[in-house]
């Protein structure tokens, strides 16, 4: 897998809550391929120069220290050894941090009194990666797949006799472990074989990661019957495990995850419409601002490329202003502090052409 740095909620809030003159957020495409690194360094130099110009325009007293922190990444060779497809750099006078993304973002340079929430939410989003269990007679593999990188195989602790659990010998049973015979017996043997495999899989695969089954046809039902992993997807890979190349496996996983995302988006839109009829969902920015101030938002979805500006006062009143602070930053921080969920999505995943969509815990009136 491409390396990626996922922010948990505590780390995310720590960055979102930071305030200081001249907070710089750089977002740019990167590459895990060493031959591309000189080009990426050039893009980084240009982005830092852009940040330096903005710092000068804002007359930031500590601009030299901030730029020095950013420039240090240009010559940090260990940093360039493990790159991914995207990069977010944040820096202020007394702190800096690099966050690698496994997706390729749009380039952006933002200087404000806080770090840009949309860029940080990219890092907090779950990567498009799944775990694949491949199972056939005598072979079980667990692979981490996604992001366009080569699949990574993880070791499994299987019983010593697992590879022979489905094998039968012809010695009239005099030296063999007694095995059930007939169609029912074969199914019980398959379930025993699959149970040992799935026990080893759940000991390694994260409980909150999508798990995809790629099984030989005669073992698929047996594995699903004994499965205990709560994120095993209904859709599996319909090909014999031995027939797939790494690229074909990556493509199959990508298609399944995209299909799952489409289904989840369709379900969310349907639920949103139902909640909106009960005044428990809205895409109006003024209503979202009022709900955020009242700690009423259950989930906020924001357009990662939008940048509405203005201020929200303590009563939730919204004042729009082209030269005001980022409303996305303010709303995201309020929602997270109130225990809500914030997701960075594309405009195509939202409704009504609005940069925001929120589901509410209780109805809120605009002051």
CA distance 335 to 292: 6
Query: Which pLDDT tens digit goes with each residue over 13-50?
Result: 999 999 999 999 999 999 888 999 999 999 999 999 99
Alpha-carbon distance 116 to 109, whole Å? 10
In the predicted model, is pLDDT for residue 129 greater than 50?
yes
pLDDT of residue 9: 81
Q: Is 172 helix (H, G, I), strand (E, B) or coil?
A: coil
Q: What is the mean pLDDT of the chain?
A: 88
The pLDDT of residue 138: 85
Q: What is the pLDDT of residue 216?
A: 93
Most confident of 5-9, 182-186, 347-351: 347-351
Lowest mean pLDDT among 59-73, 143-157, 319-333: 143-157
Tell me the H-state helices in the chain: 9-17, 37-57, 63-71, 77-81, 117-124, 182-202, 217-226, 246-277, 285-293, 327-337
Contact 21, 62 (CB under 8 A): yes
Residue 132 is classified by DSSP as E
What token pair was written down for 282? Answer: 């809205």
Q: What is the pLDDT of residues 267-281, one digit of tens each?
A: 999 999 999 999 999
| pLDDT for res 185 | 53
- Looking at residue 167, its pLDDT comes to 66
Q: What is the pLDDT of residue 52?
A: 96
At 2 the pLDDT is 54
Q: For residue 149, what pLDDT band results from cuts at 50, 70 and 90? A: low
Q: How confident is the model at residue 356 (pLDDT cuts 50, 70, 90)?
A: very high
Examine the pLDDT at 147 and tell me if it is beyond 80. no
Cβ partners under 8 Å of residue 195, min gap 6: 226
Q: What does the DSSP 8-state code read for residue 163?
A: G
- Alpha-carbon gap, residue 254 to 250, rounded angstroms: 6
Give the closest residue to 27 by CA, choosing from 344, 286, 353, 290. Answer: 344
Task: Give the model's confidence band at 197: pLDDT under 50 very low, under 70 low, under 90 confident, else very high.
Answer: very high
From the centroid of its chain, how far is CA 10?
16
Query: Could you read off the pLDDT of 56-104 as tens digits, one per residue?
Result: 998 999 999 999 999 999 999 999 988 888 899 999 999 999 998 877 8
How many whole angstroms separate alpha carbon 244 and alpha carbon 112?
A: 49
Instruction: Identify the pLDDT of residue 227.
Output: 97
- CA neighbor of 106 nearest in space, from 86, 123, 124: 86
Q: What is the largest CA-CA distance in the chain?
A: 90
∠ CA 260-263-269, nearest 5°, is 140
For the record, the structure tokens of 13 come out as 């809030």
Q: Residue 40 carries which DSSP code?
A: H
- Cβ-based neighbours of 48, under 8 Å, separated by 6 or more: 26, 67, 70, 71, 74
Q: With contact defined as beta carbons under 8 Å apart, do 296 and 364 qualify?
A: yes
- Encode pLDDT of 240-256 as tens digits: 999 998 889 988 998 99
Encode pLDDT of 261-316 as tens digits: 999 999 999 999 999 999 999 999 999 999 999 999 999 999 988 889 999 998 99
Q: Distances from the Cα of 217 to the Cαs of 1, 214, 224, in angstroms?
A: 28, 9, 12
Please count the helices (runs of H) and the strands (runs of E) in the chain: 10, 14
Question: Per-residue confidence at 160, pLDDT binned at 50, 70, 90?
Answer: confident
For residue 274, CA distances in Å to 340, 351, 357, 363 come to 20, 14, 14, 14
CA angle 334, 9, 15 (to 5 degrees): 70
d(CA 156, CA 242): 18
Strand partners, 281: 359
Higher model confidence: residue 274 or residue 8? 274
Give the Cα separation of 312 and 320 in Å (integer).
9
């Amino acid at each position: 897998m491409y390396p990626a740095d996922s922010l948990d909620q505590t780390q995310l809030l720590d960055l979102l809550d930071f305030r200081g003159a001249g907070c710089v957020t750089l977002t740019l495409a990167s590459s895990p391929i060493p031959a591309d690194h000189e080009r990426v360094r050039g893009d980084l130099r240009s982005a830092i120069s852009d940040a330096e110009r903005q710092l000068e325009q804002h007359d930031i007293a500590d601009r030299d220290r901030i730029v020095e922190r950013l420039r240090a990444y240009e010559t940090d060779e260990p940093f360039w050894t493990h790159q991914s497809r995207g990069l977010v750099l944040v820096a202020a006078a007394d702190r800096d941090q690099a966050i690698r993304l496994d997706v390729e973002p749009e380039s952006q340079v933002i200087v404000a009194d806080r770090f840009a929430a949309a860029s940080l939410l990219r890092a907090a989003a779950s990567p498009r990666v799944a775990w694949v269990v491949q199972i056939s007679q005598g072979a079980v593999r667990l692979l981490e797949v996604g992001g366009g990188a080569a699949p990574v195989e993880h070791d499994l602790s299987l019983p010593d006799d697992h590879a022979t659990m489905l094998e039968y010998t012809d010695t009239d049973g005099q030296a063999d472990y007694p095995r059930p015979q007939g169609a029912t017996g074969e199914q019980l043997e398959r379930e025993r074989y699959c149970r040992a495999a799935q026990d080893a899989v759940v000991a390694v695969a994260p409980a909150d990661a999508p798990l995809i089954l790629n099984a030989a046809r005669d073992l698929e039902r047996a594995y699903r019957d004994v499965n205990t992993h709560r994120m095993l997807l209904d859709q599996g890979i319909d090909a014999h495990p031995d027939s797939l190349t790494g690229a074909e496996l990556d493509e199959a996983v990508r298609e399944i995850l995209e299909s799952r995302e489409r289904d989840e988006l369709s379900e969310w839109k349907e639920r949103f419409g139902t909640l909106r009829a009960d005044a428990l969902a809205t895409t109006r920015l003024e209503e979202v601002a009022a709900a955020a101030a009242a700690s009423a938002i259950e989930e906020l979805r924001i357009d990662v490329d939008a940048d509405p500006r203005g201020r929200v006062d303590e009563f939730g009143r919204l004042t729009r202003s082209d030269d005001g602070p980022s409303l996305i930053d303010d709303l995201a921080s309020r929602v997270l502090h109130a225990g809500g969920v914030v997701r960075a999505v594309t405009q195509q995943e939202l409704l009504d052409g609005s940069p925001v969509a929120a589901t509410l815990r209780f109805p809120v009136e605009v002051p």
